[in-house]
């Protein structure tokens, strides 16, 4: 396993879905940053599911606890360990189906990799629940980015085959928070909600697409050749369970364009250099251009569905059918929005430090 | 800059397009691997452009030279430094347009990041030419993977709006090498060639999509939470100039599917566990499942086009128009196919070592 | 800050002396290792001070708690987070002398580095207390090493100017645990104890030398050129507060020898290759030779002494005199013995994994 | 193998004693640094042996070649690859004694680790010759440090049992360069030279002690808990062949002192905080204090001696006697002085960047 991410701003993830705790250690945070448990909690609460999106609700009244690295209301330069305790955990169903590997989940691959010793309950390390740690770290990263005027936001742009209409940054900022879907197009959000409800009633699930945007990024972030802005972000985003694709700017659509269409012409505006379009999504040669960073993430439909599925009993090595019990989110896209923001903030924070754009002590 | 990639099998890239050399150091290669300069050269030759794809040809009779790490025809366990020397280099045009940042290129971002000290000639570090180093490293990685029965292949699945028909692994293996496009669908390859020629005549360029496949991967590769199989591959693939998107299995299409469609049912076949479909693209929870690894990469249209473009003179800080001189590949997709293979092989090799699946000495 | 150590077996340290917790995350531990909180506790207890060595006792009834990564009595392959909670903490004295930087401590350097935001109470991150985390991680590493027949032990070889007589491995194993000093020479141990008591009564402190030994190491550990066996161990050992020197084998004495004396002749014994002496301390060219690994560590006298010392008030920027209150260990050498063992075990465990000598799953 | 060192300022070493080349890649060097091949050559020349120190001279008219990363006389931000070509290489003797592992050398351990595939000629990767790469990288690091007013120097303080008298920084700066021994005490230098000559005539060799000093270091360098100033330096210094011990400030002598003697009192001088003694050697809690950094390195006597030695034939697995042919340096201490400086400069440069004390572009 390799549970650390980042070179100067480093997070180390630990904990399991049904273990005692889910947590994160943030190392490399500049000293002097004002931070409270409430700041962390606020982001954590944004990750909560709307009841209506859930078939079987797990009450996650998660409370962020800061165990180290903060003193007198400010970061000390020391590693910041944060945890949420696991409560309201019922693992009995998982015990019953222990050897029936769930399609679309990591049960099989984890079983092979860890020789069957992995904590399988609720998916263990592979549960979406470990992203609670990502969000706590993201809360800190976000505060750091704010200092240099960087704002990170994400919103739902598609659920199943329902796509939101394109939205301007300002519209996303104002409207995405108004609905459970974190979708800036409230009309589309209504349709998405209905589609999710339909899927839920059919014991099925939906995926979608989340777009992340960072505004105010200075040009010059990213450490080519290999620790590029896009490469580092992609790696971080693929750590979110269910992500199957990552694209920047015009992304896969770029493949269909001509160079004359896809190249973003440079011009001078207000004394600075900008491009008149942003097909690059704010990244050229692995380095930020100063234009908005735009990344889109494909989220597969929730693997846990209520219907019966074909699988194998990995112990008996024979075919089996499985009805996944436990809680199901018919669509995890809305919950993943804040996680996308968090992984972006964490990655950008590391690259900001690596580019030498932030002092080690914040006054 | 950060020019190293990989934890146990590590490559370090160096060199510039118009400098003395392009090279790579491969560190962590097991001792005892039989390797010759011819093995390296063979892969390097596959990266050569077809003359018909190029508007202005640079004669790249690149010869791979192994400077260290190989003794008596075998790797020694020591770092392997390989170079190709730059010859036939004419930088005069680049000097003339030094401060006219080329749209779609890294000229602007590199200028900002390196304070104008970067070697701008031919794109310097950001030239596609540095991938010659990747391919030399990939040749070694490929040989290592062969030992454990892993085969990596890539092929062109789309150029502009022309898509190849889906192909089986065996078909790709037999047919992709037969045309300049590295496309397993020879009919589509013909159409692609025509489209590229048309774009070229119009002073324009095309992008496309490359699919990479790895066969024979054992289940269990990938180091979650953060050094996942998909995340590590994505990071490596984004180091290839012009890549704007990476997806696995059903990828962005997964977002439109339902869980019941997208989940791959498990079954037992020949005494082993397989899935009856492969929407996951061979990766579940960031770990290989033993099914074919399938990744698709979006390549943007070549940024260098012959037409006049709007840009700025970064020194004078005023608008300008630019006609990019130098050599143009109207479509770099075909050349990038072997680079995709190389980055896949390098990344897989690292993960194979990290999973403890390869001895440190090959007998 | 950089609070992670190790490439495949990685520890991440967190917590402060007077904060809520001291802890460690162990990442990369093979799955399937049988481990209990009692195993951890046993090592932790060995770190406890003897009452007689302490001027002002802090009651550290530390209980190791495993928060993650262990399931059904075995490691799961997931990161193992372990903590001890800080109790019996009185920080009032530290508040009073907050700006009087203590000579020999990190108060001044931490103040400068972290802009005064560091948690200064009890030394914060720089307290010997954080080594409780090292010891918990070391307990796991030790269990792993036992699997491949490696035994790590440390003992006190000098306190102040009292040196223990040279001891054989077997003698160290049997006798070092019998006294508070962890000294294999019980007579010298008695003298050491008296010397410490004398220093204590004079409000002063003593240093000493600890020797660490690893038996049963296979030849071939260490990753030259830079991640050598000796270099990696040295780096880990310098993380122990108060360590000022590290030497291997004949160490600084080697500088006075001739090559003909210092070279260890090879011979064959029981069908294997050994050396007839061990001036190399088991490491040649940064790689283990299969002979016992022998490292010695210089521990400076405890910086906290009861006498009045000259210092400055860092806020007022003026001279001051300071009497350090709080608990004083007149000699921390005995407590550091188990910490030396732990850092050795952790480092060796990483190198064993890197050498490919341990499977990722322990059956 | 692991041939990279440093997190932000990273060197990657390659090449062998009798291969084609010895080289280094320096990654992370700020852009804009003025550097010429002559700057590199000047340091490289300081590594040359005095003829009188050598029994059998190898003519090393090494010429530093910069292959990448420098353009128009300045660093570009791209990786800097530098090589010296191996010439005047006669490997015949090494072929003859291929399986007779030389006592005190890495022949045996390398044979085991790399399964006999290592390039054994002249010690291959384990030859002192690879330090030519360290010195080239050190030349760049030294230039960077100069920008922020840091000066690194090293000098010989002991050869065999002859110790130089303690010297002030100014004396070292003026006098150490005046003799072949790099010893600031010219009288002792004369004695050392005689002792080396005696050892040489007897077919034997001597070791010694080198002291490295860094002046002008800002307080605050070092990244505890694990990437400490002392720990990182120790790791880098142990990469120099023949180093068996590293100590800081009073080092092993600290073990014999009392806290009241060893603690360095703080005082105010010229408006800044200093200590009135420097037993700490400029490092407290793993962080630089602003006082001179003082490190001492124990160098074992040259393993290659002209006398007959007992060893084994590793292929036949039987005892043998060996007279090492090839060139012998009766004492490598003088040659290692510049290497100690180089490793210090490289390490300090990395920590300076990590502490955020240097911009990424030097104007």
3-state secondary structure chain D: CECEECCCCEEEEEECCCCCEEEEEEECCCECCECCHHHHHHHHHHCCCCHHHECCCCCCCCCCEECCCEECCEECCCCEEEEEECCCCCCHHHHHCCCECCCCCCHHHHHHHCCCCCCCHHHHHHCHHHHHHHHHHHHHHHHHHHHCCCEEEEEEEEECCEECCCCCHHHHHHHHHHCCCCCCCHHHHHHHHHHHHHHHHCCCCECEEEEEEEECCCCCCCECECECHHHHHHHHHCCCCCEEEEEECCHHHHCCCEHHHHCCCEEEECCEEEECCCCCCCEECCEECCCCEEEEEEECCCCCCCCCEEEEECCCCEEEEECCCCCCECCCHHHHHHHHHHHHHHHHHHHHHHCCCCCCECC
CB within 8 A of C286, min separation 6: which ones? C222, C223, C224, C225, C228, C229, C230, C231, D106, D238, D239
Nearest CA in chain A to B243: A251
pLDDT digits (tens, 9 = 90+) for A144-178: 999 999 999 999 999 999 999 999 999 999 999 99
Which of A99, A161, A260, A315 has the most B C-beta neighbours within 10 Å, making it the best mutation to test the interface with B? A260
Q: Which residues pair with D318 in a beta bridge?
A: D313
Q: Per-residue pLDDT for D55 more than 50?
A: no
D: neighbours with 3+ CB pairs under 8 Å? A, B, C
pLDDT of residue A20: 97
pLDDT of residue A92: 82
pLDDT of residue C328: 75
pLDDT of residue B328: 75
* Averaged pLDDT for residues D257-270: 97
pLDDT of residue D93: 79
Candidates D31, D68, D110; nearest CB to B19: D68
pLDDT band of residue B89 (cuts 50, 70, 90) is confident
pLDDT one digit per residue (tens) for chain C, 363 residues: 699 999 999 999 999 999 999 999 999 999 999 999 999 999 999 988 765 554 444 555 799 999 999 999 999 999 999 999 998 778 887 888 899 999 999 999 999 999 999 999 999 999 999 999 999 999 999 999 999 999 999 999 999 999 999 999 999 999 999 999 999 999 999 999 999 999 999 999 999 999 999 999 999 999 999 999 999 999 999 999 999 999 999 999 999 999 999 999 999 999 999 999 999 999 999 999 999 999 999 999 999 999 999 999 999 999 999 987 666 789 999 999 999 999 999 999 999 999 999 999 998
pLDDT of residue A50: 64
Give Cα separations from D178 to D12, D186, D213 (angstroms): 32, 8, 18
- Structural domain boundaries of chain D? 4-354
Alpha carbons within 13 angstroms on the beta-carbon side of residue A32 total 14
Q: Is C3 an 8 Å CB contact of chain D? A: yes
pLDDT digits (tens, 9 = 90+) for A199-236: 999 999 999 999 999 999 999 999 999 999 999 999 99
Q: Is B227 an 8 Å CB contact of chain A? A: yes
pLDDT of residue C327: 65
Q: Which residues pair with D342 in a beta bridge?
A: none
Distance of alpha carbon B137 from the chain centroid:
11
Nearest CA in chain D to B25: D14
Candidates A13, A20, A32; nearest CB to C117: A32
User: Cβ A21–C115 below 8 Å, yes or no?
Assistant: no
pLDDT band of residue A60 (cuts 50, 70, 90) is low
A contact residues 104-143, partner B, Cβ 8 Å cutoff: 104-106, 108-110, 112-113, 125-126, 130
Q: Per-residue pLDDT for A143 more than 50?
A: yes
C: neighbours with 3+ CB pairs under 8 Å? A, B, D
pLDDT digits (tens, 9 = 90+) for A107-125: 999 999 999 999 999 999 9
Q: Chain C partners of B359 at a C-beta cutoff of 8 Å?
A: 356
pLDDT digits (tens, 9 = 90+) for A294-336: 999 999 999 999 999 999 999 999 999 998 766 678 999 999 9
pLDDT of residue A55: 46
Q: Per-residue pLDDT for D198 more than 50?
A: yes
Query: Quick check: A150 and A217 in contact, CB under 8 A?
Result: yes
Provide ipTM, 2 decimals. 0.97
User: Cβ D76–B118 below 8 Å, yes or no?
Assistant: yes
Nearest CA in chain D to A359: D356
Nearest CA in chain C to D11: C226
pLDDT of residue D51: 55
The pTM of the whole model exceeds 0.90: yes
pLDDT of residue A326: 63
* Averaged pLDDT for residues A84-92: 85
**Could you write out the DSSP letters of every residue in B23-36?**
EEEEESPPBT-B--
Candidates B20, B21, B76; nearest CB to D118: B76
> 3-class SS at A258?
strand
> Which homologous superfamily does the CATH classification assign to the domain defined by C4-354?
Chorismate synthase AroC (3.60.150.10)
Q: Chain D partners of B363 at a C-beta cutoff of 8 Å?
A: 115
C contact residues 55-84, partner A, Cβ 8 Å cutoff: 67-69, 71, 74-81, 83
User: Cβ C359–B356 below 8 Å, yes or no?
Assistant: yes
Q: Is D18 an 8 Å CB contact of chain C? A: no
pLDDT digits (tens, 9 = 90+) for B185-218: 999 999 999 999 999 999 999 999 999 999 999 9
Which of A18, A28, A114 has the most C C-beta neighbours within 10 Å, making it the best mutation to test the interface with C? A114
Residue A106 CA to residue B263 CA, distance in Å, equals: 12
Candidates B7, B355, B360; nearest CB to C355: B360
pLDDT band of residue D26 (cuts 50, 70, 90) is very high
Query: Quick check: B294 and B213 in contact, CB under 8 A?
Result: yes
Q: Is D355 an 8 Å CB contact of chain A? A: yes
Q: B212: distance to nearest CA of chain D, Å? A: 29
Candidates B109, B257, B279; nearest CB to A287: B109
Q: D35: distance to nearest CA of chain C, Å? A: 26
Mean pLDDT of chain A: 94
C154-193 in b/e burial notation, b at 16+ Cβ within 10 A? Answer: bbbbbbbebbbeebeeeebbebbeebbbbbbbeebbebbb
Nearest CA in chain B to D125: B78
Q: Is C25 an 8 Å CB contact of chain D? A: no
Q: Chain A partners of B259 at a C-beta cutoff of 8 Å?
A: 104, 199, 204-206, 301-305
User: Cβ B356–C355 below 8 Å, yes or no?
Assistant: no
Q: Is B8 an 8 Å CB contact of chain C? A: yes
Q: Chain C partners of D220 at a C-beta cutoff of 8 Å?
A: 109, 112-113
* Averaged pLDDT for residues B146-173: 97
User: Cβ A2–B227 below 8 Å, yes or no?
Assistant: yes
């Amino acid at each position: 396993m390799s549970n650390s991410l980042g070179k100067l701003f480093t997070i180390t993830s630990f904990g399991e879905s049904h273990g005692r705790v889910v947590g994160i250690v943030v190392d490399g945070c500049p000293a002097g940053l004002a931070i409270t448990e409430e700041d962390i909690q606020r982001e954590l609460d944004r990750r909560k599911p709307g009841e209506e999106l859930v078939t079987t609700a797990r009450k996650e009244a998660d409370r962020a606890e800061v165990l180290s690295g903060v003193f007198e209301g400010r970061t000390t330069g020391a590693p910041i360990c944060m945890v949420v305790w696991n409560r309201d955990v019922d693992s009995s169903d998982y015990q019953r189906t222990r050897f029936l590997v769930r399609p679309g989940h990591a049960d099989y691959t984890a079983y092979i990799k860890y020789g069957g010793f992995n904590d399988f309950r609720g998916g263990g390390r592979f549960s979406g629940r470990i992203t609670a740690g990502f969000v706590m770290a993201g809360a800190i990263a976000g505060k750091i980015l704010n200092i240099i005027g960087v704002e990170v936001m994400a919103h739902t742009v598609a659920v199943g085959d329902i796509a939101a209409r394109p939205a301007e940054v300002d519209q996303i900022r104002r409207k995405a928070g108004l609905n459970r879907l974190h979708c800036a197009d409230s009309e589309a959000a209504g349709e998405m909600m209905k589609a999710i409800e339909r899927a839920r009633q059919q014991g099925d699930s939906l995926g979608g697409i989340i777009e992340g945007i960072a505004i105010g990024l200075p040009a010059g972030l990213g450490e080519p050749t290999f620790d590029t802005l896009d490469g580092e972000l992609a790696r971080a985003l693929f750590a979110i369970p269910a992500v199957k694709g990552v694209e920047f700017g015009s992304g896969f659509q770029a493949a269909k364009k001509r160079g004359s269409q896809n190249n973003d012409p440079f011009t001078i505006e207000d004394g600075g250099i900008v491009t008149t379009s942003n097909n690059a999504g704010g990244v050229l040669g692995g380095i930020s251009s100063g234009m908005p960073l735009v990344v889109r993430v494909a989220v597969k439909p929730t693997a846990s569905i209520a219907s019966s599925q074909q699988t194998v009993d990995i112990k008996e090595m024979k075919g089996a059918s499985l009805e996944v019990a436990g809680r199901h989110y018919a669509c995890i896209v809305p919950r993943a929005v804040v996680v996308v923001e968090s992984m972006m903030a964490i990655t950008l924070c590391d690259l900001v430090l690596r580019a030498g754009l932030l002092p080690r002590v914040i006054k």
